[in-house]
Amino acid sequence: MDDLKIAQQCAETMLANDRSSQAMGISIEIVEPGKAIARMRVRDDMLNGFAVIHGGLTFALADTAFAFACNSYDQQSFAAAAQIEFLRPAVATDVLTATASEDYRGRRNGYYTVEVRNQRDELVALFRGRSASNSKPVIQS
Amino acid sequence: MDDLKIAQQCAETMLANDRSSQAMGISIEIVEPGKAIARMRVRDDMLNGFAVIHGGLTFALADTAFAFACNSYDQQSFAAAAQIEFLRPAVATDVLTATASEDYRGRRNGYYTVEVRNQRDELVALFRGRSASNSKPVIQS
Amino acid sequence: MDDLKIAQQCAETMLANDRSSQAMGISIEIVEPGKAIARMRVRDDMLNGFAVIHGGLTFALADTAFAFACNSYDQQSFAAAAQIEFLRPAVATDVLTATASEDYRGRRNGYYTVEVRNQRDELVALFRGRSASNSKPVIQS
Amino acid sequence: MDDLKIAQQCAETMLANDRSSQAMGISIEIVEPGKAIARMRVRDDMLNGFAVIHGGLTFALADTAFAFACNSYDQQSFAAAAQIEFLRPAVATDVLTATASEDYRGRRNGYYTVEVRNQRDELVALFRGRSASNSKPVIQS
Q: Tell me, what's the pLDDT at A61?
A: 97
Q: How confident is the model at residue A30 (pLDDT cuts 50, 70, 90)?
A: very high
**In this complex, which of C55, C57, C79 lies closest to D86 when CB atoms are compared?**
C79
**C-alpha dist (Å) from residue D100 to A129, C57, D38, D87, D112:** 19, 19, 8, 17, 7
Residue C1: is its pLDDT beyond 90? no
Q: Tell me, what's the pLDDT at D1?
A: 74
Q: How far apart are CA A73 and CA B77, in angstroms?
A: 40
- The answer to whether residues B105 and B50 touch, using CB atoms and an 8 Å cutoff, is no
Q: For C20, name the nearest residue in chain D, comparing CA atoms only.
A: D46
Flag whether residue A48 sits within 8 Å of chain B, measured between CB atoms.
yes
Q: What is the pLDDT of residues C8-42, one digit of tens each?
A: 999 999 998 899 999 999 999 998 999 999 999 99
Q: What is the pLDDT of residues A62-92, one digit of tens each?
A: 999 999 999 999 999 999 999 999 999 999 9
Flag whether residue A87 sits within 8 Å of chain C, measured between CB atoms.
no
Q: Tell me, what's the pLDDT at C30?
A: 94
- Rg of chain B's alpha carbons, rounded to an integer? 15
- The answer to whether residues D131 and D110 touch, using CB atoms and an 8 Å cutoff, is yes
Q: For D130, name the nearest residue in chain B, comparing CA atoms only.
A: B81
| Contacts with B111 from chain C: Cβ below 8 Å | 85, 126
DSSP letter, residue A54: -
Q: Tell me, what's the pLDDT at B141?
A: 60
Q: How confident is the model at residue C141 (pLDDT cuts 50, 70, 90)?
A: low
Task: Please indicate whether, in this complex, the C-beta atoms of D130 and B83 are within 8 angstroms of each other.
Answer: no
Q: How far apart are CA C40 and CA C19, in angstroms?
A: 15
3-state secondary structure B3-18: HHHHHHHHHHHHHHCC
Q: Provide the residue-wise pLDDT of chain D in tens; the chain has 141 residues.
A: 799 999 999 999 999 889 999 999 999 999 899 999 999 999 999 999 889 999 999 999 999 999 999 999 999 999 999 999 999 999 999 999 999 999 999 999 999 999 999 999 999 999 999 999 998 999 976
| Min Cα separation A64/chain B (Å) | 8
Q: How confident is the model at residue B49 (pLDDT cuts 50, 70, 90)?
A: confident
Residue B1: is its pLDDT beyond 80? no
Q: Tell me, what's the pLDDT at C140?
A: 79
Q: How far apart are CA C24 and CA D61, in angstroms?
A: 15
Q: What is the pLDDT of residues C78-115, one digit of tens each?
A: 999 999 999 999 999 999 999 999 999 999 999 999 99
CATH-assigned architecture of domain B3-133: Roll (3.10)
Query: What residues 95-114 of chain C have any CB closer than 8 A to a CB of chain A?
Result: none
Q: Tell me, what's the pLDDT at C17?
A: 86
Q: What is the pLDDT of residues B50-86, one digit of tens each?
A: 899 999 999 999 999 999 999 999 999 999 999 999 9
**In this complex, which of B83, B87, B111 lies closest to C104 when CB atoms are compared?**
B87
> Which H helix or E strand runs over B113?
strand B109-117
**In this complex, which of C83, C106, C113 lies closest to B83 when CB atoms are compared?**
C83
| Min Cα separation D16/chain B (Å) | 33
Q: Tell me, what's the pLDDT at C49?
A: 86
Mean pLDDT of B113-138: 97
Domain ranges of chain B: 3-133
Q: How far apart are CA C85 and CA A21, in angstroms?
A: 33
